[in-house]
Amino acid sequence: MERPKAIPTVRIDDDRVKATEWAFTPGAETGWHRHEHDYVVVPLTDGQLLLELPGGDTARAELRQGIPYARRVGVEHNVINAGDEELRFLEVEIVG
């Protein structure tokens, strides 16, 4: 089954940080990717994520507007909006 694609909008991209706002319709995905930098995610809406992980594993995460979380370089996954409403978050990568 092909899913709709999440829409990335780059808000900042300089030699220190890259900030991308992601917008997901219900069921939309980022597609598989590997993070090349440490990053922080700041949810702009409440929502539920389904994370597809290497090896066929999956995980779920509940996002709460304004409550950030951080991850280290090397995370590999496909992020899917598992909820019934639009989901948005700001991803801030620490590039330098």
d(CA 78, CA 91): 14
pLDDT at 77: 97
Structural domain boundaries enclosing 21 = 7-73
pLDDT at 21: 98
Identify whether 85 is part of a domain: no
d(CA 96, CA 80): 28
Residue 47, beta-bridge partner list: 63
Kindly give the parts of the chain with pLDDT less than 50.
none
pLDDT at 13: 98
Identify whether 65 is part of a domain: yes
- Whether 22 and 91 have beta carbons less than 8 Å apart is answered as yes
pLDDT at 25: 98
For the chain, how many structural domains are there in total? 1
* Residue indicated by tokens 């900042």: 12
Identify whether 95 is part of a domain: no
pLDDT at 76: 96
